[in-house]
């Protein structure tokens, strides 16, 4: 007997749903299941397409070059053109470093977002996608915080543990938490309110755009990138955030003498981060030549073979920083330790 599955008859609401993107108002936040959804005129989903199609490997790269909207090489927002609001196609030269699998808020997270996002979440005018930043928008830290103080920017703040701890320990500094996932931002807002902090703001935005246009040049004292997605499969390495095009963006926002701090628990990504910093003429490694041989975390990772081919090859280059004492030990880092992973820290100074 032939079997036929008619999705429209069984699940009419689901098949016809267009999964709208986040509206201009901040409450409530609807579910978003696609990566880098256009901000306007989103096309309806094709009922015949697999539900996970937007997350399949290589879809972005398989798009014919002539059908793509123009994009910049470093992933930043491109200038406004008559084709800027195209509903289809992508608008960056390189793939983004994240895939947004959902932004649904519930319970206390939804309540925190409803009650406090108007004051604690930076209201960013969008460009094309709901995580993009209009290239004409410039963040005014003095107006936002009501004072002039050193500004620390954390890229990929997650649930906010690191930035909240740092803000409590450093009331003389202001902190901007950059994240694309709404639940993480809502959780961070919860913690800001619970700790009665006035020196933290959150922003839902793609990091390269924050660094290339949103933040004024030379306005930041430190940029933190702690445990970004390692995209450890070879075919996904191109999605890593920290690469040669990222260093100039960090350099742009840092003031002279400003510090770029990084941490990862993935050895190949750590090596990539190290070489990106070394290759940039804008930065000096604060720990150049330090922690080599048996003292190197890379040597330890090679000996363990937990995330790379096991070997007894010694790391003769070094350049690794000691663990940054301003970074709280988060549950994520604890999991890395329990899995036997080695933690790598790096620190570069803006020349």
- Catalytic site positions: 229
Hey, is 203 helix, strand or coil? strand
Hey, is 155 helix, strand or coil? strand
CA 179 – CA 103 distance, rounded (Å): 12
Q: Within the chain, where are the H helices?
A: 7-10, 12-16, 59-62, 107-120, 141-145, 161-169, 182-194, 207-209, 247-253, 267-279, 297-304, 331-338
Strand partners, 151: 174
Say if residues 319 and 297 touch (Cβ distance below 8 Å): no
CA 329 – CA 161 distance, rounded (Å): 9
What is the CB neighbour count within 10 angstroms for residue 303? Answer: 15
């Amino acid at each position: 007997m032939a079997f036929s599955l008619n999705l429209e008859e069984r699940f009419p609401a689901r098949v016809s749903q267009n999964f709208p993107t986040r509206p201009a108002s901040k409450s409530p936040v609807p579910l978003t299941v696609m990566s880098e959804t256009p901000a306007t005129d989103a096309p309806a989903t094709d009922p015949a397409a697999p539900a996970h199609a937007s997350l399949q490997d290589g879809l972005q790269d398989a798009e014919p070059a002539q059908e793509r909207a123009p994009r910049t090489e470093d992933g930043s927002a491109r200038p406004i053109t008559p084709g800027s609001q195209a509903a289809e196609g992508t608008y960056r030269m390189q793939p983004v470093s994240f895939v947004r699998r959902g932004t649904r808020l519930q319970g206390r997270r939804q309540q925190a977002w409803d009650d406090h996002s108007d004051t604690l979440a930076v209201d960013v005018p969008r460009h094309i996608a709901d995580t993009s930043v209009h290239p004409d928008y410039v963040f005014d830290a003095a107006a936002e915080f009501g004072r002039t103080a050193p500004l620390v920017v954390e890229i990929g703040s997650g649930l906010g543990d690191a930035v909240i701890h740092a803000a409590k320990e450093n009331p003389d500094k202001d902190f901007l938490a950059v994240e694309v996932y709404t639940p993480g931002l809502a959780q961070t807002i919860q913690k800001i309110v619970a700790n009665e902090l006035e020196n933290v703001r959150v922003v839902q935005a793609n990091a390269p755009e924050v660094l290339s246009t949103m933040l004024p040049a030379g306005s930041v004292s430190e940029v933190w990138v702690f445990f970004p997605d390692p995209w450890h499969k070879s075919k996904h390495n191109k999605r890593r955030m920290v690469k040669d095009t990222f260093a100039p963006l960090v350099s742009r926002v840092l003031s002279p003498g400003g510090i770029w701090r990084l941490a990862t628990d993935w050895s190949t990504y750590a090596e990539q981060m190290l070489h990106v910093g070394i290759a940039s003429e804008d930065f000096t490694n604060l720990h150049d030549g330090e922690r080599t041989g048996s003292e190197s975390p890379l040597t330890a990772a090679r000996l363990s073979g937990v995330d790379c081919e096991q070997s007894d090859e010694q790391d003769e280059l070094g350049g690794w920083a000691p663990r940054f004492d301003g970074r709280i030990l988060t549950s994520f880092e604890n999991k890395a330790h329990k899995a036997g992973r080695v933690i790598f820290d790096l620190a570069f100074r803006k020349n």
